[in-house]
Amino acid sequence: MNIQEIMKQAQVVQKKMAEMQEKLKQTSREGVAGGGLVKATVNGKGDLLKLDISTELLKPEEKSITEDLIIAAFNDAKNKIEEDFNGAMSGLASEMGMPADFKFPGA
């Protein structure tokens, strides 16, 4: 394989990565905590889009539990987004004939 072919393939990979990252930014995932008492929706950039708290938890004496559940739900959603991204990158690596665990620069 000559340098021109390598550069051409690198450009294709870079373009596909950019497209995949843009697609993932448009997706969202919901995380849950406390058996569904708290739900958090996060987009592909990791931004919190929506928060749903059951009225069951809206009691002053439950404040610290509610706060912990919000953090847990957010982290659950964020982890799902990261799993989606890693799966997409693994698929791209496989598509390009690289090992599934190949790490793209900046990924």
pLDDT at 32: 93
**Domain chopping of the chain, boundaries:** 28-100
User: For 57-82, b where at least 16 C-beta lie within 10 A, e where not — what string?
Assistant: beeeeeeeebeebbebbbebbbebbe
Long-range contacts of 88-93 (CB under 8 A, 24+ apart): 88/20, 88/23, 88/24, 89/17, 89/20, 92/13, 92/16, 92/17, 92/20
* CA dist., res. 45 & res. 31, Å (int): 15
pLDDT at 107: 55
The fold adopted by the segment(s) 28-100 is: Ybab; Chain: A; (3.30.1310)
**Orientation of helix 3-25 relative to helix 63-95, angle to 10°:** 150
Tens-place pLDDT, residues 51-94: 898 988 888 888 888 889 988 998 998 888 888 888 887 877 77
Tell me the pTM.
Answer: 0.57
With vertex at residue 103, the alpha carbon angle to CA 88 and CA 11, rounded to the nearest 5 degrees, is 75
